[in-house]
A = this chain, B = another copy of it.
Amino acid sequence: MTRKPTPSMSDVARLAGVALGTVSNVLNNPEKVSTDTLARVQSAIDELGFVRNRAARSLAAGTSSTIGFVLVDLSNSFFVDMARGAEEVAEEEGMSLLLANSDVLEAKQKRYLNLFDEERVAGILLAPIPGHPDGLQRVRGHGRDVVLLNDSTDAKDICSVVVNNVHGGYLAARHLIELGRRRILFAGGDDSLVPVRDRRIGVERAIAETNGAVSLDVIVTDEVQAKHGREVGSVVLSRAAADRPDGIVAAADLLALGILQSLAGSDIRVPEDIAIIGHDNNRAAWDGVIPLSTISQPGHDVGASAAALLIEEIRQPARHVHKKVILEPSLIARESTLGR
């Protein structure tokens, strides 16, 4: 099979018997071309199977219409939601969104940031490795527009969109308190995980508002996977009934799920004896045997706002003002707190 060289605009021009610039106009400013020239060029394009060369295009025009999104973890539906939200906005605005997964590896994050930089994309969305917005400064230094998702920086010259995790923790605790729970347990990782720390702070705030009517206990886990939740469950089970909590706020749904699992093997009933609420609205959570109440992250909106911010920055650099957008999570109550 002989592979014909890809036809170029000049091939099209020759076949249609017009000048090169005219072909360009047919593609980019069709209204500036007479009807029959347009038709002639169009059929030449079809006949040749011509496909625009974006490399040449963006080189000549000095602009690109694609946005690069470097995200930390595709296995986490929160980030996939962001991608979807960003994609919708980008599409509405006539831009395309390309994804790169850093997979929680600094080296990859740096590589892809650099790739998009070399690619001269119109702008970059970055959901960085927690606490590692590396390479960001480099890219910023090159004048490329960047918006941070689910993370923020002290730098004032960059937009970011984050979720109010403090409020998330607060909502979770309030929910349990309103259901009449008086001995609350917060389970989560240590303070190095900022979202976890914020959620705990929110919980503490809700507890404080009760003026001592509700007690708070905290168990710090190594991570926030189901496995660690099962460990929390064992600890709870090992206590005398009177010392057990009647409500648990877990810093993540998988953690909550683990707790649910270990409690399922005992005579403790959920939510009658212990109500449980998690965070993130993972699919794993609501598809469980006991659907888990949770604090839902507005992933879709995070992505959409970030993309909107980025596009504004790209299109109106002069009037654009850098800002930090804070989105609110919301409560989704299911069986693990409400019962059937």
Which chain A residues have a beta carbon within 8 Å of chain B's beta carbons? 1, 3-4, 6, 49, 51-59, 64, 66, 74-75, 77, 80, 83-84, 87, 96-101, 103, 111-112, 114-115, 117-120, 138, 141-143, 157, 226, 254, 257-258, 260-261, 264, 283-284, 287-290, 317
- Return chain B residues, CB-CB under 8 Å to A49: 138, 141-142
- Contact check, A59 vs B55: say whether CB atoms are below 8 A apart: yes
User: In the assembly, what is the distance between CA of A92 and CA of B59, in Å?
Assistant: 29
CB < 8 Å neighbour of A6 from B80, B98, B112, B143 = B143
- Contact check, B99 vs A87: say whether CB atoms are below 8 A apart: no
Distance in Å: Cβ of A150 to nearest Cβ of chain B: 17
User: In the assembly, what is the distance between CA of A333 and CA of B317, in Å?
Assistant: 57
Distance in Å: Cβ of A85 to nearest Cβ of chain B: 12
- Contact check, A112 vs B99: say whether CB atoms are below 8 A apart: no
- Return chain B residues, CB-CB under 8 Å to A142: 6, 49, 51
CB < 8 Å neighbour of A56 from B59, B87, B101, B290 = B59
The interface centre, meaning the residue of A1, A54, A75 with most chain B CB atoms within 10 A of its CB, is: A54
- Contact check, B120 vs A54: say whether CB atoms are below 8 A apart: yes
- Return chain B residues, CB-CB under 8 Å to A98: 98-100
- Contact check, B54 vs A118: say whether CB atoms are below 8 A apart: yes
- Contact check, A118 vs B53: say whether CB atoms are below 8 A apart: yes
- Contact check, B290 vs A289: say whether CB atoms are below 8 A apart: yes
- Return chain B residues, CB-CB under 8 Å to A288: 257, 261, 287-289
Known: A6-B142, A59-B59. A120 touches B53 (CB 8 A): yes
User: In the assembly, what is the distance between CA of A288 and CA of B258, in Å?
Assistant: 8
Distance in Å: Cβ of A57 to nearest Cβ of chain B: 8
- Return chain B residues, CB-CB under 8 Å to A51: 114, 117-118, 142
Distance in Å: Cβ of A118 to nearest Cβ of chain B: 4
- Contact check, B260 vs A119: say whether CB atoms are below 8 A apart: no
- Return chain B residues, CB-CB under 8 Å to A77: 75
Complex A-B: 29 CB contacts under 8 Å: A3-B143, A3-B317, A4-B143, A6-B120, A6-B142, A6-B143, A49-B141, A51-B117, A53-B118, A54-B119, A54-B120, A55-B59, A55-B64, A55-B120, A56-B59, A59-B59, A66-B115, A74-B83, A75-B77, A84-B101, A87-B101, A87-B103, A97-B100, A98-B100, A226-B287, A257-B287, A260-B289, A284-B284, A288-B289
User: In the assembly, what is the distance between CA of A49 and CA of B140, in Å?
Assistant: 11
Distance in Å: Cβ of A156 to nearest Cβ of chain B: 11
A-B pairs with the 5 shortest C-beta distances?
A: A99-B99, A55-B55, A55-B59, A54-B118, A74-B80
